[in-house]
Structure formats: structure tokens, C-alpha cells
């Protein structure tokens, strides 16, 4: 203690230096640990684990940090950095003792603060390019804001008064794979000229997968699409999506065990609505949760070890994939680089071809991951749905690629949908299997998904409208046509 006090004797400049160096040292230790253990710097997801969302997660993180096998490499790396910096500092001692050094520190702090404020409201804070001060403040602030926002949405959803009834729970494994940014016009199964969906093609040929040919996504960006897909809200309803019963709450009341598995980010400006819905499930697992943002995530196959199969209770599981989200080249491992420039149509420029090559290859990888998920349920009584949140616009308009309110084209809403059923499912549930097959060419919009799923599962609510349930005898395709007109109207989602 006396030593610590003695350090600060020597004027305010020396004291400030010691505090700055100490804070930097602790931070360097912490982020080195994050890099080694989670392959990320401090991010919104890390911030949420550290100071909220649940104390168990925070405890786990602290435990990991102090586990010897994690701590020793961190310490070794940090000590080597300090040693190098120390050698350098001896050379620079003269400069450091002068006024310049204080000016530099002051300059960095002053520059950092306005940049931090500017970065607070950007959609994708560039964690890796910013100073540690900027990163610490933005990540913590975004996490704090998200936690409050998600908490408020949760409260509203849990207060909704609704009645659930069901006779028996007949479907033991219902899996919903939510894909990402998949435009069906770039899939071989839907007529694209490159063979990038070989697994899906053969499953369709064998009659094990039902392909839907007239499906339109209910929004052009993830948050809006997923919140409409996973609640009884639909595009002609009044009010907001969170004022309608959420699928996980309906299913939990009906007796299902519900599980959310995701390779997308855990929270943040572009994921808060989804995070709020996910937190209504019995369990969640984010395999790439600690990644900072969309630019650095894990590959989708990371979800495979965490897939569940029903035990005592029937299971409803969502698998939320990163799919073909921009940046396409980062969505698949190199071994899936199957198609090259010469495969792409001549009408595109060289840089456009680069994007297309990567997009088409990301679909080839998605085909592999989705088929692995199907395989997992080969010996169970299971039905697996695949539907992406929205499509992707690729050089359809003004030389742009992407999706969202600023880029709504046919491709943004043209999505695939397919359903896989295990042998046991087809044997034990012939009526359900038949209605799934008979609906493959009917028009459908994804805001009707929750109604469609609960209807197939034999669950009724006081919000029910079976004319909106795709597999029901009462389904009215005009309802989907009406919604397609809304979706393709010029002011949709603006
Ligand atoms: Zn999306």
C-alpha cells in the first residue's frame, strides 16, 4: 500500500501517467484474453455477458479468464509486449520526459471522445479499427441500450393476454431453420444455372424435401422479418408486432420445450428485436456470440454440435443461420470455393463477378450445412422447415448489392422455402405429411408462418385465423396475394 502511495508522490502529471498506464495494462490483459479465447476484441456481446444479461454468464466469463490454461498464455503475450515496449521506451525516454508525451496522450484522448460520440449511433461500430477507449465505450453503451430495450419488449410480450389449447402433442421434433439473405433465383433448385444446391436437388428428387415455389418474404431486413415471422402479427394487422403473442410463448404454454440456436450476433442495433424474441425461449445458445459484428462471425456449421433432439417433452427448435449475409466471402470455408469467375454470366463486370462468385459459393456451403441439420434427425420423428428472413438484391438496381429499406427489389423478397420430413414422421403423421406436400405451389408470405406452424402442430389460440395457415384445408391463397401487393407497394417498410 505504502508503495502504491509512494508512486503517486511526484506531482499530478506523474499520477495521471500511472493511472493511464495501469488502465491500459489491465485492458490489454483483458482483450488479449478475449482474442485468445473468443477470437474477438471487446464487443457488444462481450459487454452484455460481463455486466448483464445473466449473472451465470458473467461468472463463467470471469472463471474462464482466471483458469490457468487461459491465463498463462495471456500473461506471456502481455509480458512480451511490455518487454518490447520497455526496450523501446528506454530509447524514447528523452521524448517521454518532455512535454510532447503528455501532449500525445491528451491528443489521443481528445480525438477519441468525439469519435466515440459519433460512433454511438452507427449501425456497425467498427470495433477492430477503433481505439480501445472508443471500443470500450461504444460496446458498453450499445449493450446497455440493447439490454434495456430488450427488457421493455419482453415485458410487453409477457403481458399479452391469450389462451392456448391443444388436445395432444403429436409432433415431437419441430425444427425451424431461419436462413439469411437468400435469393432463390441464385439457387440451382430454383432454376439457377450453376449446380450450387446438390444436396437439396437430390432430396427433392427422392421426395424427401418439399419445395415451395411461391413464397415472398414479409420484410427486407432481418429484425422486421423475424419479428413478423415469429409472432401472430401479420402485415394487415393494426399496431406493432410485439403486441401479438410470440411463437415461443404459445409453444411453451402448449407444453413444448423451446430452444434457440444461433450463429448470428447476440444483440446490438440490428438484432435487438430478434434477441428479445430469442430470450422468450426456454434455452438459447449463440455459437458466434462473442464475435464483434457481422463482419467477423463463425461458419454456420458451428451450430451442428448443439442441435437437440426431443427428450421427455416435445421440442421446438429454431436454428438461426448467418447464411449468405454480406460480406459473402466470409460466409464459407475455402474448401467450398467451387465456382469461379468464368462460371458467372458475361454481362457482369469483374468486381461484380467477385461478389457473385462469393454469393453463389455461400449458397453452396449453406446447402451443405442445411443437409447436415436434416441428417441429424434421420432417425427421429421430425419435421424441419427452412425459410430465410429475406432475399438479397444483387446488381438489380443502381449497381447495388444488399437488402433493407433502401434496397427493395424483386430479389429482396424472392425467397425459397422447403420442408424436410423424416421417414418416421411420414409414417406416423400421414395427414400432416400430405397437407405439407399439397401446399407446395400455393402463394405464401412469411408473416403467416407462426399461424401456419401452430396450426400444423394442432395448437389453437384465441387469436387463431386458420384461413392464414398454409397447411390448413381452410387456407385462402388470396390472403397471401393481398399481402404480396402490400409488400411490393412503393412505400412498404419505409
Ligand atoms: Zn437478414
With a pLDDT cut of 70, the percent of the chain lying above it is 79
389 alpha carbon – ligand 1 mean position (Å): 5
Distance 269 CA to ligand 1 centre (A): 13
Report CA(387)–ligand 1 centroid distance (Å).
Answer: 11
- Answer for the pair 139, 42: CB distance below 8 angstroms, yes or no: yes
Distance 183 CA to ligand 1 centre (A): 11
Q: Compute the distance from residue 2 Cα to the ligand 1 centre, in Å.
A: 57
CB 264 within 8 A of CB 288: yes
What is the pLDDT of the chain when averaged over all its residues?
85
Which domains, ranges and CATH numbers included, belong to the chain? 2-151 (no CATH), 169-263+299-487 (3.40.720.10)
**In angstroms, what is the span from residue 313 Cα to ligand 1's centroid?**
31
Report whether pLDDT(125) > 60.
Answer: no
Residue of higher predicted confidence among 122 and 234: 234
Residue 271 Cα to ligand 1 middle (Å): 10
Q: How far is the CA of 222 from the centre of ligand 1 (A)?
A: 4
What pLDDT shows up at residue 156?
Answer: 94
**C-alpha 61 to ligand 1 mean position (Å):** 29
**How high is the pLDDT of residue 62?**
67
- Distance (Å) from CA 179 to ligand 1 centroid: 8
Residues 6+ positions from 83 with CB-CB distance below 8 Å: none
| Structure confidence at residue 292 (pLDDT) | 43
**Whether residue 446 has pLDDT greater than 70:** yes
Range ranked top by mean pLDDT from 116-125, 187-196, 397-406: 187-196
Confidence of residue 177 (pLDDT cuts 50, 70, 90): very high
pLDDT tens string 51-71: 655 566 566 666 666 666 666
pLDDT in tens, 242-264: 999 999 999 999 999 999 999 98
How far does residue 362's CA lie from ligand 1's centre (Å)? Answer: 14
Alpha helices in 313-448 (DSSP H): 350-376, 410-413, 423-428, 430-438
Beta bridge partners of 383: 174, 421
| pTM higher than the cut 0.75 | yes
DSSP-derived letter for residue 231 is B
Q: Mean pLDDT lowest for which of 8-12, 153-157, 192-196, 224-228?
A: 8-12
Tell me, in angstroms, the distance from the centre of ligand 1 to residue 277's CA: 15
Residue 370's pLDDT band (cuts 50, 70, 90): very high
Lowest average pLDDT, out of 54-63, 172-181, 323-332, 377-386, goes to 54-63
Using the predicted structure, report yes or no on whether residue 236 has a pLDDT greater than 60.
Answer: yes
Q: How far is the CA of 101 from the centre of ligand 1 (A)?
A: 47
User: Higher confidence at residue 265 or residue 473?
Assistant: 473
Q: How many Å apart are CA 136 and CA 366, to the nearest integer?
A: 34
| 297 Cα: distance to centroid of ligand 1 (angstroms) | 14
Give me ligand 1 centre to Cα 163, in Å.
Answer: 31
pLDDT reported for residue 118: 53
Per-residue pLDDT for 115 more than 60? no
Q: Does 13 have pLDDT greater than 50? A: yes
Of 371, 367, 318, 320, which Cα lies nearest the Cα of 208? 371
Amino acid at each position: 500500500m505504502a508503495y502504491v502511495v509512494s508512486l503517486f508522490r511526484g506531482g499530478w502529471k506523474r499520477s495521471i501517467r500511472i493511472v493511464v498506464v495501469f488502465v491500459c495494462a489491465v485492458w490489454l490483459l483483458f482483450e488479449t484474453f478475449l482474442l485468445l479465447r473468443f477470437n474477438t476484441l471487446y464487443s457488444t456481446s462481450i459487454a452484455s455477458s460481463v455486466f448483464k444479461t445473466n449473472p451465470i454468464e458473467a461468472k463463467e466469463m470471469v472463471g474462464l479468464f482466471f483458469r490457468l490454461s487461459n491465463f498463462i498464455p495471456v500473461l506471456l503475450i502481455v509480458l512480451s509486449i511490455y518487454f518490447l515496449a520497455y526496450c523501446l521506451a528506454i530509447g524514447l525516454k528523452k521524448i517521454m520526459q518532455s512535454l510532447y508525451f503528455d501532449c500525445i496522450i491528451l491528443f489521443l484522448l481528445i480525438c477519441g471522445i468525439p469519435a466515440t460520440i459519433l460512433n454511438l449511433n452507427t449501425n456497425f461500430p467498427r470495433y477492430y479499427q477503433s481505439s480501445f477507449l472508443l471500443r470500450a465505450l461504444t460496446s458498453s453503451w450499445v449493450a446497455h441500450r440493447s439490454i434495456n430495450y430488450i427488457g421493455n419488449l419482453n415485458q410487453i410480450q409477457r403481458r399479452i393476454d391469450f389462451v392456448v389449447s391443444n388436445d395432444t402433442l403429436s409432433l415431437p421434433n419441430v425444427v425451424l431453420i431461419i436462413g439469411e439473405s437468400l435469393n432463390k433465383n441464385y439457387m440451382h433448385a430454383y432454376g439457377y444455372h450453376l449446380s450450387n444446391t446438390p444436396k437439396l436437388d437430390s432430396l427433392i428428387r427422392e421426395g424427401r424435401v418439399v419445395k415451395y415455389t411461391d413464397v415472398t418474404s414479409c420484410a427486407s431486413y432481418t429484425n422486421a422479418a423475424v419479428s413478423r415471422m415469429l409472432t401472430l402479427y401479420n402485415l394487415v394487422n393494426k399496431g406493432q408486432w410485439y403486441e401479438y403473442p410470440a411463437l415461443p410463448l404459445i409453444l411453451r404454454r402448449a407444453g413444448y420445450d423451446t430452444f434457440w440456436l444461433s450463429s448470428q450476433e447476440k444483440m446490438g442495433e440490428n438484432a435487438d428485436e430478434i434477441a428479445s424474441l430469442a430470450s422468450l425461449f426456454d434455452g438459447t445458445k449463440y455459437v458466434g456470440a462473442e464475435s464483434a459484428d457481422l463482419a467477423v462471425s463463425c461458419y454456420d456449421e458451428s451450430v451442428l454440435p448443439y442441435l437437440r433432439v426431443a427428450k421427455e417433452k416435445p421440442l421446438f427448435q429454431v436454428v438461426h443461420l448467418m447464411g449468405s449475409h454480406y460480406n459473402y466471402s466470409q460466409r464459407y470455408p475455402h474448401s467450398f470455393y467451387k465456382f469461379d469467375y468464368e462460371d458467372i454470366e458475361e454481362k457482369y463486370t469483374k468486381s461484380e463477378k467477385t461478389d457473385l462468385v462469393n454469393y453463389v459459393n455461400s449458397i453452396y456451403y449453406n446447402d451443405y450445412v442445411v443437409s447436415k441439420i436434416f441428417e441429424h434427425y434421420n432417425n427421429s420423428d421430425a419435421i424441419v422447415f427452412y425459410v430465410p428472413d429475406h432475399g438479397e438484391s444483387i446488381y438489380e438496381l443502381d449497381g447495388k448489392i444488399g437488402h433493407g429499406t433502401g434496397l427493395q427489389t424483386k430479389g429482396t423478397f424472392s425467397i425459397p422455402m422447403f420442408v424436410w420430413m423424416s421417414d418416421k414422421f411420414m409414417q406416423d403423421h400421414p395427414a400432416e405429411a400430405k397437407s405439407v406436400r399439397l401446399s407446395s405451389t400455393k402463394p405464401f408470405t412469411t408473416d403467416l408462418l407462426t399461424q401456419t406452424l401452430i396450426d400444423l402442430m394442432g395448437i389453437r389460440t384465441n387469436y387463431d385465423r386458420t384461413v392464414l395457415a398454409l397447411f390448413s384445408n381452410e387456407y385462402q391463397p388470396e390472403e397471401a396475394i393481398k399481402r404480396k401487393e402490400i409488400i411490393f407497394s412503393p412505400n412498404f417498410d419505409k
